[in-house]
Amino acid sequence: MSNPIIESGNVAAAMAVQLARAEVIAAYPITPQTPVTEKLSELIAAGKMDAEYVAVESEHSAMAVCIGAASAGVRAFTATSSNGLLYMSEQLHWAAGARLPIVMCVVNRAIGAPWSVWNDHQDAISQRDTGWIQIFAKDHQEIVDMTLKAFRLAELVHIPVMVNYDGYYLSHTYMPFEPPDAEHVDAFLPAYTYKHALTPERPESLNTVTLPDARLDVDGIKRGGYMDIRHNLHEEMGKSIEVWEEIDQEFQALFGRGGHPVIDPYRCDDADVVIVAMGSMANQFRVVVDRLRQNDGLKVGILALQMYRPFPSAIIAEALQSARHVMVYEKGLSYGNQGALYGDIKSALYPYPARPRLHNFIAGLGGRAIPTESLYQTMKTACEQDLQTPSAQADAPQWIGLQL
Amino acid sequence: MKTTARTTVLNLTEEEFIHPGNRACSGCGLSILYRVGVKALGRDCIFVVPPSCLTVMQGLYPIAATQMPVLNGTFASTAAIATGVKAAMRRLGRETQVVAWAGDGGTSDIGIQALSGALERGEDIIYICYDNEAYMNTGVQRSGTTPQGSLTTTTPFSGKSEVGKDLPAIIAAHNPAYLATCSASYPLDFHDKLLKAKQIKGLKYLHVQTPCPPGWGIEEHMTVALGRAAVETGLFDLYEIENGRMQLTGPSQQLLAKPTLRPVREYLELQTRFKALGDAQADALQAQVDRRWAGYRDRFR
Amino acid sequence: MPDPRFKVLTSASTSGPGDAGRTGSWRVERPVIDMSSCIPAKTGKHACHLCWLLCPDNVVSKEIEPAIDLEYCKGCGICAQECPVQAISMVPDADFLEGADSE
């Protein structure tokens, strides 16, 4: 077991990429992700990491470099934030459709306009339908561990993985964490190989125009069309949840950490009211939960969602079955509708006869502070009102901390 | 400074790398280039191809016309994808050539940012732009390199009013390791420039004028004759730039000895895309060619 | 290596002829070579072979007597246009249909 160190979340991510022996790093600066790529350039320049460092001219090209490298069978990494993620959106769909096991850290930040460099989750949420696996870390230790596990997952299921963590709250704060030791990482994460890797010895044309219907190949074997390939992506994304759980067990056996790879419940067992949140806000809620239980006698728990895509509907529905109320707090939304996570949870619960009542809260957009005190107060008010006077299901999200 | 290899039709390898029965149009200039060009590249290469006629020509899943590995990618990112593939080859300790092969829209318009980045980084790749002077794969829309006066489906009545981009000059401003212009009508010249490019480290850019029968409004059998007319009228010049020095090559170099070139009208009148070009515009074009060639004669003769 | 439970379907194509089918069916005229004027055929030596070099579709052979693969020849006529001795003529394919003479 290595000794804990105190470093920023961005450095934690870079250390994980170093330990994972990523071989091609595509780098383009954007706040608040920039220190990840700076740190990686430093590690490579200092001879502490052996990788190709490509300083590209845009995020679109950053993902293109990763696509090229991964298609040739080499482990690739990049990191971005906010509009950078959106600029590479086309490439995200491409990487997933091509089934390339690229890992990318997304340091979550609000999207312009207007410009904001501060944190929310709208960047990642807006890319939820790209076919990428999306996981959310809530502290520095999870940034390191999840990034390493992400490489393993990506290469086992051949689907790219986006490791999300909150801009500034996690990226720029300094917290203690244990970096896994390199020897165990090598045992955990074997070298990447790809059956369709570009090579003159076995020439194939990748991502060719694909017809709506199945077609015979040169050997007379029927090959599915576009829809069949996309269906396979969907099916195998769903099956990735199970693989993610298995990876977590392997990781736990080697490093002694883990156990809650998909959802991380805190004091949910007997809870009447369960809060659901992603990222650092979920950790912030632990204090709120403790206070509500201690001061107000409210049976409240917090369920941190670690894996957002594929959406673990069955796992979430089961976890929320015994709650009477579910409060979904999120830092992003589907404009003109409701919180994206809220909609997903509602849909996950729909098939079950005993459905808790759901409440949606939008918080922290563009870095608007989310004081723990205000979380406590909104929760307390909501619990007291709703628990005593049940009202009709109200879908409209409540915005926390508006200053209009 | 000159192309050193001298391949002739007799010693050009008979080995073929592109299967017949592909989806290229009848009389396709790109097909000639592709077929002969890959003979220079050989099997130890990987192609990176954005949306273009080449995407369609090299096969629909699960059949490929090309016998070499091809990575199809998004329109704007050809040079960046090639960068990633080349980085992977270095990691794998392989000398495999990485060859980006894009059209004029994919190079001069949507792909120019990625190409400019790759040029600035000096990526060790070959980038081939086959310039058929419009978005042909989507049905002949104007591109950055479409010449002035040319009819396209988006410049339908009086032709494109703007002058086309001088893309090789834009590339030259990046000081690439090697730059050459080529023509589909002189496939051996292209072949030998590729042979030379293979020997050079850094970014090698080859810009190839590629006549397109449906796009230019010419009969299918006129593809080669048209490209030749473009060179012989002095409208499209074949040259190389190495270490900042420009030199006319092959057929264009031979024109230096001639007192006059074929009139540009001989080229323009063969194509329906120049139907809307007026006399004044044709004269202006002729004057422009005359001026450029007078300069060449001063410099190179 | 991917988990064996995963199929990982992608669009990875392998090479072979006739992706677009028998493209000879696109043709309305076919090239016919007059071997008495074709340079290599006449001299019995490898020479010229421009029809082979300039064929976009790789259907002309580089032989003393060049052969054309009509299965895939699209009939563009570049070979006929570029032949330095006009040894190739483009003849309507209809003339070669079975029973064309008797109609």
Which class does domain A5-188 fall in?
A: alpha beta
pLDDT averaged over chain A?
95
Rounded alpha-carbon distances, angstroms, from residue A356 to A297, A300, A337, A387: 20, 14, 20, 12
| CATH 3.40.50.970 domain range(s) in chain A | 5-188
A5/A177 Cα distance (integer angstroms): 6
- The DSSP string of B178-245 is EEEEEETT-HHHHHHHHHHHHTS-S-EEEEEE---HHHHT--GGGHHHHHHHHHHTTSS--EEEETTE
Point out which residues pair with A215 in neighbouring strands: A223
A231 touching B, CB under 8 A? no
Please state the rounded mean pLDDT for residues A200-226: 96
Nearest-CB residue to C75 (from B14, B26, B222): B26
pLDDT above 90 covers a percentage of chain A that reads 94
Distance from CA of A81 to the nearest CA of B (A): 20
pLDDT tens digit at each of 301 positions of chain B:
444 668 999 999 999 999 999 999 999 999 999 999 999 999 999 999 999 999 999 889 999 999 999 999 999 999 999 999 999 999 999 999 999 999 999 999 999 999 999 999 999 999 999 999 999 999 999 999 999 999 999 999 999 999 999 999 999 999 999 999 999 999 999 999 999 999 999 999 999 999 999 999 999 999 999 999 999 999 999 999 998 999 999 999 999 999 999 999 999 999 999 999 999 999 999 999 999 999 999 999 8
Which of A52, A100, A198, A230 to mutate: most B Cβ within 10 Å?
A198
Contacts of A211 (CB under 8 A, 6+ apart): A225, A226, B60, B61
Residues of A within 8 A of B34 (CB-CB) are none
In sequence order, what are the residues at sequence separation of 6 or more whose Cβ sits closer than 8 angstroms to the Cβ of residue A324?
A272, A273, A356, A357, A387
Q: What average pLDDT does the segment C33-37 reach?
A: 98
- Which residue in C has a C-alpha nearest to residue B224's C-alpha? C78
A91 touches chain B (CB under 8 A): yes
Rounded CA gap, B104 and B171, in Å? 13
Can you tell me which residue has the tokens 């079955």? Answer: A321
Instruction: Verify cis geometry, omega within 30 degrees of 0, for the bond prior to B62.
Output: yes
In eight-state DSSP terms, residue A335 is: T
- Can you say how many angstroms the Cα of residue A382 is from the centroid of all Cα atoms in its chain? 28
- pTM for this model (two decimals): 0.97
Gyration radius of chain C over CA positions? 19
Other Cβ atoms closer than 10 A to B8: 9
Decide if C77 contacts C52 (C-beta within 8 A).
no
pLDDT at residue B2, as a whole number = 47
Yes or no, beta carbons of B72 and A208 under 8 Å apart = yes
ipTM greater than 0.95: yes
Spatial CB neighbours of A205, under 8 Å, sequence gap ≥ 6: B58, B59, B64, B66, B69, B70, B72, C12, C13, C14, C15
Stretch A180-206: mean pLDDT: 95
Span A342-381, pLDDT tens digits? 999 999 999 998 889 999 999 999 999 999 999 999 999 8
> B277-292 b/e with 16+ CB inside 10 Å = b?
beeeebeebbeebeee
Q: Which residues contact B172 (CB under 8 A, 6 or more apart)?
A: B179, B241, B246
- Say if the Cβ atoms of A157 and C6 lie within 8 Å: yes
Distance from chain centroid for Cα C9: 35
What are B194-197's contacts with CB under 8 Å, separation 24+? B194/B37, B194/B40, B194/B41, B194/B126, B195/B5, B195/B7, B195/B40, B196/B3, B196/B4, B196/B5, B197/B126
pLDDT of residue A371: 95
Asked whether residue A176 carries a pLDDT value surpassing 50, the answer given is: yes
B32: which chain C residues are within 8 Å (Cβ-Cβ)? 54-56, 78
Q: Report yes or no: A156 at the B interface, CB cutoff 8 Å.
A: no
d(CA B91, CA B94): 8
Q: CATH 1.10.10.10: does it fit domain B29-300? A: no
DSSP structure string for B139-168: TSB--TTPPTT--BTTBTTT---SPPP-HH
Q: Where are the alpha helices (DSSP H) in B42-186?
A: 53-57, 78-91, 104, 112-121, 167-172
Helices (H) and strands (E) in chain C, counts: 3, 3
Q: Within chain A, which residue ranges are assigned CATH 3.40.50.920?
A: 263-400
What's the rounded Cα separation, in Å, for the pair B173 and A115?
A: 34
Question: Which tokens in the block code for residue A283?
Answer: 């950790």
Which residue bears the tokens 């509602």? A346
Q: What is the pLDDT of residue A2?
A: 64
Rg for chain A, CA atoms, rounded: 21
Which structure tokens are listed for A380?
């307390």
Right CATH for A263-400 from 1.20.990.10, 1.10.3720.10, 3.40.50.920, 3.30.2310.20: 3.40.50.920
Pairs from B137-140 (Cβ < 8 Å, separation ≥ 24): B137/B51, B137/B52, B137/B53, B137/B55, B137/B56, B137/B103, B140/B214, B140/B215
Sequential DSSP letters for A73-123: T--EEEEE-HHHHHHTHHHHHHHHHTT---EEEEEE-PPPSSP--S--SHH
> For residue A322, is pLDDT > 50?
yes
Rounded to the nearest 5 degrees, what angle is found at the Cα of A130, between the Cα atoms of A128 and A136? 40
Contact of B59 with C19, CB cutoff 8 Å: yes
Q: Are residues A205 and C2, on separate chains, in Cβ contact within 8 Å?
A: no
Give yes or no for C36 touching A (CB within 8 A): no
Tens of pLDDT along C65-100? 999 999 999 999 999 999 999 999 999 999 998 766
CA B180 – CA B192 distance, rounded (Å): 11
**What is the spatial distance between Cα A283 and Cα A265, in angstroms, rounded to a whole number?**
11
In B, minimum Cα distance to A77 occurs at B84
8 Å CB contact of C58 and B20: yes
